[in-house]
Structure 1
Amino acid sequence: MDQRISFVTLAVADLDRSRAFYLDGLGWTAALDVPGEVLMFKAGEHLVLSLWSEAGFEAEVGPIRRGEGVAPLTLSHNVRTEAEVDAILGTARAAGADPVTEAVERDWGGYTGYFGDPDGFRWEIATNPGPIGQEVLP
């Protein structure tokens, strides 16, 4: 098996709400949009982010674990400058993201903040000065 990821799929409670957040709020462009079922975005050269209605997800994958707290994963969008981090967090806030944490300098040398999408999935907006952080930049 090659060491790569092709799709990241998130089960969402309200696909229309997610569509409004990502398309209208963040200004993304859909690669595939099947109302009531799935919304897909090209997220990299060989990577797709898929937002799948919970019902469709559960029918194929199995029951979703539900409960208090944050989903045990983050999605990270890395940029070159701290100003870009702050601007994207502002865009997310204007799009209705909740919560949005202000970016701070991290002990490991980066500058990051987080926002939650309509289903609470946490997006990290970051600068990462290390070699691996530079590899992921376009």
Structure 2
Amino acid sequence: MDQRISFITLAVEDLDATRRFYRDGLGWSPELDVPGEVLMFRAGEHLLLSLWDRRHFEAEVGATMSGPGVAPVTIAHNMPTPAGVDEVLAAARAAGAPVVHEAAQRDWGGYSGYFADPDGYRWEVAFNPGPVGRLVLP
């Protein structure tokens, strides 16, 4: 098996709210938009973020877990500067996202903050000055 990821698929409760957030709020352009079913965005050269209506997701994948707390996954968007982190967090806030952790200097040497999408999935916006940070920037 090749060492790569092609899709990240997240189950969402309200696909219309998700569309408004990602497309209208953040300004992303969908690669595929099937109303009531799925919304896909190019997230990298060979990577798609698939936002799938929960009912359709469960019909194929199985029942999802629910309850209090945060889904045990984060999605990260890296920036080349700390100022870029602040700009993305401001854009997410303007799109209606709650900023769940303001950007701060981190023990690992970088600078990052978190916002939540309409389903509560946490997005980390980070500046990572180390070698791993350089791996993920275009």
TM-score relative to the length of structure 2 = 0.98
1:39-82 per-position Cα deviation (integer Å, ceiling 9, x unaligned): 00000001000000000000000000001000001000001011
Cα root mean square deviation, aligned: 0.7
Instruction: Please give the alpha-carbon distance, in whole angstroms, between the structure 1 residues aligned to 2:131 and 2:99.
Output: 30
Gaps of 5+ in 1: none
Say which SS state the counterpart of residue 102 (structure 1) adopts: strand
- Stretches of 4+ moved more than 6 A in 1? none
1:59 paired residue number: 59
Letter in 1 for 2:7: F
Q: Where do residues 1-40 of structure 1 align in structure 2 (5 Å cutoff)?
A: 1-40=1-40
**Structure 1 residue 85: deviation in Å?**
0.3
Greater share of strand residues, 1 or 2? 2
TM-score relative to the length of structure 1 = 0.98
Contact 2:89–2:99 (Cα < 8 Å) also in 1: no
**Structure 1 residue 133: deviation in Å?**
1.0
Contact 1:98–1:118 (Cα < 8 Å) also in 2: no
Gaps of 5+ in 2: none
Q: Percent identity?
A: 68
Q: Aligned pairs, how many?
A: 138
